[in-house]
Amino acid sequence: MAKYKIAWLPGDGIGVEVLEAAKIVLDRLQLDAEYLPGDIGWEFWRREGDALPPRTVELLQRVDAAMFGAITSKPARTAAAELAPELQDRGLSYRSPIVRMRQLFDLYVCLRPCKGYPGNPLNFKEGIDLVVFRENTEDLYAGVEFAPVPPELARTLGQLARPFAPFAKLPRDQYAISCKINTRAGSERIVRAAFDFARKHGRKKVTVVHKANVVRATDGLFLEAAKAVAKDYPEIPMDDANIDAMTMWLLKNPHNYDVLVAPNLYGDIISDLCAQMVGGLGFGCSGNLGARLAVFEPTHGSAPKYAGQYKVNPIATILAVKMMLDWLGEAAKAQALEQAVARVIQDGRVRTYDLGGTSTTLQMAQAIAEQL
């Protein structure tokens, strides 16, 4: 019997190809694991009205971790129009399956390391080594949205919120509302996760990213919670910055930062910025971590225009494998894999199109496997 059970969720587009690349390095590492395929993605939305079918949720309840490829998401009206005819006009609403997984399994940490490996021609500056902790279950991604706006909600907002007055007279189908929900408990635990990581790995400081000067209620709560948690880590300096200023300062002085922690939306933004500084989304890996389950993925999308061509860079997915190995306690295998990736990047003979080369997705994976 295998030591680990790994849910294998290719998803859409290039997700299939990058997970095929991931399997090459996992086989070379001889991880004692059983890989269990799961249904997820746009085709299941179209055919069944659910991009994350109940059978896949059940699968995730009995595995140690999951590898996820990529997903296609489209606006609500487009998604509804692409449903099979027998599913039309049944009130089905598309929701991102990765967002649902995060909420169903309380994968409250989105961990996104962004490291510039020597020899990468796409590095913005050499020596960048940033880690983003993104709160993963709350904020504007909570899924509490209204379009059109229900009359009772419009009336209540008109009574309770003076700034709502300019919108109160609009037809209810002419505006939409997305609720930003942040809890003290949710804020505290993601900040604590960032400080625990900094302490464990000897990081120099934690920076809290917010917009509390304008979004006073929710971001104010997040910043207040962060300051309270920081008192438990007196040896680790904490500073904070508004999200807009942070994007500027990261580009100007990336070496001034180390561990960044943010609410969901801001974490999504700055992690993509950080990924671009170390080579782009072809290098952006991500772990969605909870108390019992973790789902690992590249941060890029399904890239339909490249699907079937096997030309995209699989390094983001392979680095996500490295993260999974760390999660499983396979530290030696994780270190060996990262070193293999670094050697291939520095050598420079095998490069995918984003790096200026002509190597395929699987050729890159094979080159990394040969370094193990």
Q: Which two tokens stand for residue 33?
A: 């694991």
CB-CB contact of 19 with 67 (8 Å)? yes
* Angle at the Cα of 337 from the Cα atoms of 256 and 363, rounded to 5 degrees: 110
Any bridge partners for residue 11, and if so which? 70
Using the structure block, give the residue that is written with the tokens 């609410």: 263
Q: Where are the beta strands (DSSP E) in the chain?
A: 4-11, 33-37, 65-70, 109-115, 129-135, 145-146, 177-178, 206-210, 238-242, 259-262, 285-289, 294-298
Q: Which CATH architecture has domain 124-130+180-263+272-277?
A: 3-Layer(aba) Sandwich (3.40)
Helix pair angle (243-252, 264-277), 10° resolution = 10
CB-CB contact of 372 with 340 (8 Å)? yes
- Which residue in 37, 35, 33 sits closest to 9, CA to CA? 37
What residues does each domain of the chain span? 1-116+279-372, 124-130+180-263+272-277, 145-178
Cα separation, 71 vs 15, whole angstroms: 7
Task: Give the pLDDT score at 77.
Answer: 84
Residue 317 CB-density burial (10 A; 0-12 exposed, 13-18 middle, 19+ buried): buried
Task: Give the pLDDT score at 286.
Answer: 97
Q: Which CATH architecture has domain 1-116+279-372?
A: 3-Layer(aba) Sandwich (3.40)
CB-CB contact of 300 with 281 (8 Å)? yes
* Residue 326: DSSP 8-state: H
Task: Give the pLDDT score at 13.
Answer: 95
One digit per residue, the tens of pLDDT, for the chain of length 372 reads 889 999 999 999 999 999 999 999 999 999 999 999 999 999 999 999 999 999 999 999 999 999 999 999 888 889 989 999 999 888 888 888 999 999 999 999 999 999 999 999 999 999 999 999 999 999 999 989 998 999 999 999 999 999 999 998 899 999 999 999 999 999 999 999 999 999 999 999 999 999 999 999 999 999 999 999 999 999 999 999 999 999 999 999 999 999 999 999 999 999 999 999 999 989 999 999 999 999 999 999 999 999 999 999 999 999 999 999 999 999 999 999 999 999 999 999 999 999 999 999 999 999 999 999
Side chain identity at residue 4, one-letter code: Y
Q: Read off the pLDDT of residues 295-333 as tens digits, 9 standing for 90 and up.
A: 999 999 999 999 999 999 999 999 999 999 999 999 999
Task: Give the pLDDT score at 93.
Answer: 86
Side chain identity at residue 251, one-letter code: L
Q: Residue 225 — φ and ψ, nearest 5°?
A: -65, -40
